[in-house]
Every structure is written in structure tokens, then in C-alpha cells.
């Protein structure tokens, strides 16, 4: 089976770049949310990112350049990243592209109205777009419970897609 969900972050933080794994910052809650939402069947941390294909997941960043924060990124970083992301989507054919962060959604769809976390009407290639909150410890826009609800909603969306495909 192919990639069911491609998780997309904005760009690697300095710690993630240093250790060579996604969402590896000390205060990043991505892996805890993935585990607690039961998107994965057992607890994993950033060192287990290579295991994501076992659950039909892939992971990438829009921009490959590591920074201490997104304020260090240039518009050209985002433009080049969009082309690369679309090529990855075309190659791996994910059912859903899970954008990890509202800022990422707004950078990819600057003219779209954002109506909240979850499944969006916009598409990237043939993939549906699902917006998750940024799990960084710096994100004060969402409580941990709201983040967990969004990750659980992604799990529900996947379950519903699977059930309708089986019928």
C-alpha cells in the first residue's frame, strides 16, 4: 500500500536538523499527539520517524532549510518548497496531505478562506488537505486538548475513508 497521509511541516528546526529527525524539538508535541490520538498503534518519538511507513504515513517539510524560526524564511523558500511538495505528492499519491500548522496552509493557499482545523476544500494535486495545529511548544493558539482533538479527527477521517473504500 502507498502513503495514506503525508505529514508536512514548514521547515526543520535546528534540533531536528542536528539529529536528522522530524519534529525533534524538546517542546514539540507531534509524536505525543500522534501516539495519543492512536494514529499509530504504539508510542513512538522522533527517533521512530523512519517507522511511519508501517502505518501508511510519510513525512516531509515544505522548506528543507533549517532555521531557529519561520521568520528566517524568505518568500523564495516557500515558492521553491511548493514545487518540491507538489512533485512529492505526484510521486507518492497520498490520500491526504496533513499540513502541520495554519501558517503552512496560509502560505500554500494565500487566497483561500481558512475555516478551521480539519479537512479543507482545497486540494494539493489529487490529495485532500487536512490542517493540523502546529505542535510546537511555542504555539499558544491551541491548547493541547484542541491539538489532540484535531489529530483524532484525522484518525476518524482515515477510518471513514477506509470504510467507504471497503464497501
Residue-averaged pLDDT of the chain = 94
Integer Cα distance of 44 and 32 in angstroms:
8
Q: pLDDT value at position 137?
A: 85
Q: pLDDT value at position 27?
A: 93
* Domains of the chain: total: 1
Map grid coordinates 533549517 to a residue. 66
pLDDT in tens, 73-93: 998 898 899 999 999 999 999
Q: Can you name the residues that pair with 6 across neighbouring β-strands?
A: 58, 97
Q: pLDDT value at position 38?
A: 97
Residues 102, 114 contacting (CB under 8 angstroms): yes
Q: What is the CATH number of the domain that holds 118?
A: 3.40.470.10
Q: For residue 150, what are the contacts with CB-CB under 8 A and spacing of at least 6?
A: 117, 118, 131, 132, 133, 142
Closest Cα partner for 88 from 158, 3, 12, 10? 3
Closest Cα partner for 34 from 160, 156, 151? 151
pLDDT band at 165 (very low <50, low <70, confident <90, very high): low
pTM value? 0.94
User: Range of 61's domain?
Assistant: 5-166
- Alpha-carbon 40 to chain mean position: 14
Residue 115 has pLDDT above 70, yes or no: yes
pLDDT in tens, 11-49: 999 999 999 999 999 999 999 999 999 999 999 999 999
Q: What percent of the chain clears pLDDT 70, i.e. is strictly above it?
A: 97
Integer Cα distance of 53 and 74 in angstroms:
31
pLDDT in tens, 52-62: 999 999 999 99
Residue 166 has pLDDT above 60, yes or no: no
Amino acid at each position: 500500500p502507498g502513503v495514506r497521509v503525508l505529514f508536512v511541516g514548514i521547515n526543520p528546526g535546528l534540533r531536528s536538523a542536528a539529529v536528522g529527525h522530524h519534529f525533534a524539538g524538546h517542546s514539540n508535541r507531534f509524536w505525543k499527539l500522534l501516539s495519543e490520538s492512536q494514529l499509530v498503534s504504539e508510542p513512538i518519538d522522533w527517533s521512530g520517524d523512519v517507522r511511519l511507513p508501517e502505518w501508511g504515513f510519510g513525512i516531509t517539510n515544505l522548506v528543507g532549510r533549517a532555521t531557529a524560526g519561520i521568520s528566517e524564511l524568505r518568500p523564495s523558500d516557500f515558492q521553491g518548497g511548493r514545487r518540491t511538495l507538489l512533485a512529492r505528492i505526484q510521486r507518492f499519491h497520498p490520500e491526504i496531505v496533513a499540513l502541520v500548522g495554519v501558517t503552512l496552509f496560509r502560505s500554500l493557499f494565500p487566497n483561500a478562506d481558512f475555516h478551521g482545523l480539519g479537512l479543507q476544500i482545497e486540494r494539493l494535486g489529487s490529495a485532500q488537505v487536512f490542517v493540523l495545529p502546529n505542535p510546537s511548544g511555542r504555539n499558544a493558539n491551541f491548547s493541547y486538548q484542541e491539538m489532540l482533538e484535531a489529530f483524532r479527527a484525522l484518525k476518524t477521517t482515515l477510518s471513514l475513508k477506509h470504510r467507504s473504500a471497503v464497501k
